[in-house]
Amino acid sequence: EVQLVESGGGVVRPGGSLRLSCAASGFTFDDYGMSWVRQAPGKGLEWVSGINWNGGSTGYADSVKGRFTISRDNAKNSLYLQMNSLRAEDTALYHCAREPYGGNSGGWFDPWGQGTLVTVSS
Q: Which is nearer to another protein, 14 or 89 (CB)?
A: 89
Would you say 3 or 17 has its CB closer to another protein? 3
Q: Which residues pair with 39 in a beta bridge?
A: 45, 93
| 3-class secondary structure per residue, 17-50 | CEEEEEEEECCCHHHCCEEEEEECCCCCEEEEEE
Return the range that interacts with another protein (CB under 8 A); candidates 8-16, 20-28, 42-50, 76-84. Answer: 42-50
Q: Does 1 bind another protein (CB under 8 A)?
A: no
Q: Bridge partners of 70?
A: 81
Contact set with another protein (CB under 8 A): 35, 37, 44-47, 50, 59, 61-62, 95, 100, 105-115
